[in-house]
A and B are shown apart, each in its own frame.
Chain A
C-alpha cells in the first residue's frame, strides 16, 4: 500500500512556480502593451534612421495607402465626436446622438461626408468591409481632408499630426496632403517610419 502512495505523489508537478512566471509575464505584457489599431488598409512604412518615438496621446494620424486613399484617426473619442459635429455643420449635415456615438467607436475613419450617414447606419462588420473602398477626398475641388484637419485642430489645438504612408505611395498624393497642411499653416508634423539600422561611415 505505502509503495503505491509514494509513486502517485511523485508524478505530480508543482505548478506554483510556473504560475508565478506566467503571471509575471502577463503583468509585463499588460503594462507595456498598446493595442494595435484596426486599420482599414495594410500599410508598410518605410524605414529610417530616425530614433524619435512618437508621443502617446493627442495624435491625429493620417493614413495613406499605396493607391492614395486617405484615412484619419484620433485617439480621443471626445475629439472624434466634436469634429464630426463641426465638419457636419460645415457641410450642413446634422448628425443624431446615435450616429455620433457610433462614429466615436470607429478607430479609423475615411468616408466622404455625403456618404457618412449611410455609412453610420451600417453594422460594424459591414463598415469594416466598406471602409477600405472609400477615403477622404483630398482633391482641390472638394478638399474635405482640409476641413477635417482644420476642425480637429480647432477642437484640440494640442493635436500632433502624424503621417503614416505606405512606402510605395506616389509622391503626388503625399504632396496633396502636405500642401493641404501647408495651407492650414500646419508646418510641423511627424512622419511615421520603421526603424532601420544604418550609420554614416
Chain B
C-alpha cells in the first residue's frame, strides 16, 4: 500500500518559500513486515541451526589374521580393558585377567572420579604434555597445525596406555559413547572397540558371585 500525500503547507509558512507544494511519498511497510515475520517463523521452526557433533572412530578390521595370540600380546603389555556392562556399570582390568581372583576385575563408574580418574592417572605423562601444548597454543607460540601434529605424536607415543573397550549386549549406546568420550578427555590415542569374549562374561559373573565361580572350579 503506497500513498501519495499532498501537503500544501498547512498553516505553516516556510522560509524561502521556493517550493509551493511538497509531495511526500509514503509507503506503508506493515504488510511487508508481517510477511517477513511469517517467513522468519517458518525458517526458525523448520531448520536445525546447530549441526550435530560427530565422533570419528576407526574400527579394527575383521581380519582373521589377527589371532588370539596377538590379542594376548597386547593384553600382556598392560593394556587396560574396559568392560561396559548393563545398568550403567563399568568394569576394568589391566593386563591379563586373573581368573582365580575375582578382585582383578574392578567396578568403576562413568563419573569423573570413576574411570576417568583411573585413566588420567595411567596417562599422566601424556596429559601433562598435552596441557603444556594447549597452554602454548593459547599464548600463540605454536600454530594449530603444529599443535595437532604434536598432540597426535604424544598420543601415539610409547608408554601411553592401550585401552580395549568391550561392551556387553545389555550396555546402551550411551555407555559406548561415554567410554569413547573418556578416551578423548584422557587423551588416550590407542584404543579399540572389541567384541566381548566368554572370558569377560565369566569374569563379570565371578565378580558378581564374589569369586564363588572360580572357587568352584578350583575344587
Contact = CB atoms under 8 A, between A and B. Distances in A.
Interface stretch (A80-88, A116-124, A148-156, A186-194): A186-194
Interface stretch (A22-30, A70-78, A98-106, A129-137): A22-30
B178 A22 contact: no
A132 to B, nearest CB: 19
Contact of A50 (B112, B172, B181): B181
Contacts of A196: 181
B174 interface: yes
A80 B49 CA distance: 25
Nearest to B48: A36
A185 B61 contact: yes
Contact of A25 (B40, B53, B167, B187): B40
Interface residues of B, number: 57
A175 B43 contact: no
Nearest to A36: B48
B170 A26 contact: no
Interface residues of A, number: 63
B53 A26 contact: no
Interface of B: 10-11, 26-30, 32-33, 36-37, 39-40, 43-44, 46-62, 84, 112, 116, 120, 127, 167-178, 180-181, 184-187, 193, 195
Interface of A: 2, 5-6, 12, 14-16, 18-19, 22-23, 25-26, 29-30, 32-36, 45-54, 64, 162, 164-172, 174-175, 178-179, 181-183, 185, 187-196, 198-201
20 contacts: A2-B10, A15-B32, A16-B27, A26-B40, A48-B55, A48-B180, A49-B184, A50-B54, A54-B53, A170-B169, A171-B84, A172-B170, A174-B176, A183-B62, A187-B60, A188-B56, A188-B59, A189-B57, A196-B181, A200-B120
